[in-house]
């Protein structure tokens, strides 16, 4: 057996020092994680700040959003999101605003990366108001390229 690569000084039971036997253990980063003095549990500072603002622990599935997108900023304002879907929505809306669009009426095409009105995107078949990631022009170009690729491989 060899010594563990994580630096703990213990013998590695797997016989490898590539990642060490503690490779799954999350090493706390002093600027992101701190130990709560009341409970003695190590947690993310932004979650501890959100819990202090609420006055109770965060419910399961809650996400803490950083509007400035800097997780190391310990004095930034925070938004408590009820679930990950709302958290992703905030990031999506911010990307559209940063690109110079209106997130209520426009969307960024996933292929050409241009801000276009929602009417330029085909609705999804699920019927919940969703839109495809590519605009109609890019979808047509992608489908045409796929058609020619299949035709060439069949010949």
Put simply, whether the predicted model's pTM sits higher than 0.85 gets the answer no
Mean pLDDT of the chain: 81
* DSSP per-residue letters across 10-40: PEETTS--SS-TTTTSPPPPTTTEEE-TTT-
Q: 63 φ, ψ to 5°?
A: -120, 145
CATH class of 104-155: alpha beta
Distance CA 82, CA 94 (A): 18
Q: Which residues of the chain have pLDDT under 50?
A: 16-28, 30-31
At 88-100, the pLDDT tens digits run 999 999 999 999 9
Q: 97 φ, ψ to 5°?
A: -60, -40
> Which residues make up the CATH 3.30.60 domain(s) of the chain?
104-155
116 by Cβ neighbours in 10 Å (0-12 / 13-18 / 19+) ranks as middle
Q: Show the 3-state SS of 91-117.
A: HHHHHHHHCCCCCCCEEECCCCCCEEE
Please state the separation of Cα 54 from the chain's center in Å.
24
């Amino acid at each position: 057996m060899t010594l563990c690569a994580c630096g703990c000084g213990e013998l590695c039971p797997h016989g490898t020092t590539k990642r060490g036997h503690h490779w799954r253990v999350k090493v706390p980063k002093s600027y992101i994680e701190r130990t709560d003095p009341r409970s003695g549990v190590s947690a993310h500072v932004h979650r501890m700040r959100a819990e202090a603002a609420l006055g109770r622990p965060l419910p399961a599935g809650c996400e803490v959003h950083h509007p400035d997108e800097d997780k190391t900023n310990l004095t930034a304002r925070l938004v408590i999101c009820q679930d990950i879907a709302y958290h992703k929505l905030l990031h999506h809306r911010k990307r559209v605003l940063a690109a110079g669009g209106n997130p209520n009426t426009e969307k960024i095409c996933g292929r050409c990366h241009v801000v276009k009105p929602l009417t330029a995107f085909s609705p999804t078949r699920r019927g919940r108001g969703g839109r495809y990631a590519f605009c109609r022009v890019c979808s047509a170009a992608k489908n045409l390229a796929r058609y020619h690729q299949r035709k060439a491989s069949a010949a």
